[in-house]
Amino acid sequence: MSLIKASVVKISPSMMCADLSQLGAQLQILDEEGVDSFHFDIMDGHFVPNLALSPLIVRSLRPLSRKPFNVHLMVENPTLYLPDLYDIGVNCVTVHVETMGSSAFRILANIKTHGSKVGVALNPATPLNTVEYMLEQVDSVTIMTVDPGFAGQAFIWPMLNKIRALRALREQHGYNFEIEVDGSINAQTFGPVIKAGADVLVVGTSGLFSLDKDLRLAVRKLKAALQKEWAASKEQ
């Protein structure tokens, strides 16, 4: 039985952590191995001190898979990037609450008007109440469990409380958004984040791509680790 179907936890590989020289081939392998979606970080070197993927790269990969493409805008001015995403076939655009300011609801509405689902992301130090009034409008909320911008950071454990609080708000008000977690999601953190309420796990270097040189085997190791955590949660 498929882990993902059994656990109702979705797996979304972070493609900035893939082998960029083999990006298309690795995306196709991940597709064949049954991941649920693909996560693309677009960075501008200003909102975060790093550069990552771009709309052009996302466009070039779109024909290779029919799985959802989710774009995470780690940029200072998200409105500059949105027009380049709308005709690609991106399924969800996630914007950081820290970057939207007084235009937040206009930006969210604009994304939905162009046919994409909409998500909001929060940095670790950003309190949950900054998105409280947006929760009825969004399809997903991404809790960053590391400071954004670089792969390989340590998991920030107090973020489990933020995930729990977000799940409680969803249950209290009957909202329909998914809870996504992003940052050092691996065998050491699968169980705690799932128990806290995560629906979508963004997996990168430590959770997927470093598990085996053979990417197919890496995916299978990831699924085995998740299956173990899911089984353990059922026994408690």
DSSP 3-state of 17: helix
DSSP 3-state of 103: helix
Cα distance between residue 125 and residue 117, in whole Å = 25
- Mean pLDDT, residues 54-59: 96
* pLDDT of res. 153: 82
More confident residue, 1 or 96: 96
**Superfamily holding 3-235:** Aldolase class I (3.20.20.70)
Q: What is the mean pLDDT of the chain?
A: 93
- Binned at pLDDT 50, 70 and 90, residue 235 comes out as low
Cα distance between residue 89 and residue 69, in whole Å = 8
pTM of this structure:
0.94
* pLDDT of res. 228: 86
Query: Hey, where are the domains in the chain?
Result: 3-235
- Binned at pLDDT 50, 70 and 90, residue 7 comes out as low
Question: Residues 142-183: pLDDT tens digits?
Answer: 999 999 877 678 999 999 999 999 999 999 999 999 999 999
- Binned at pLDDT 50, 70 and 90, residue 3 comes out as very low
Q: What angle do CA 108, 110, 114 make, to 5 degrees?
A: 120
Q: Which residues are catalytic?
A: 41, 182
Report DSSP state, residue 155: P
* pLDDT of res. 232: 75
DSSP 3-state of 180: strand
- Binned at pLDDT 50, 70 and 90, residue 6 comes out as very low
* pLDDT of res. 233: 67
Whose tokens are 């977000």? That residue is 166
- Binned at pLDDT 50, 70 and 90, residue 43 comes out as very high
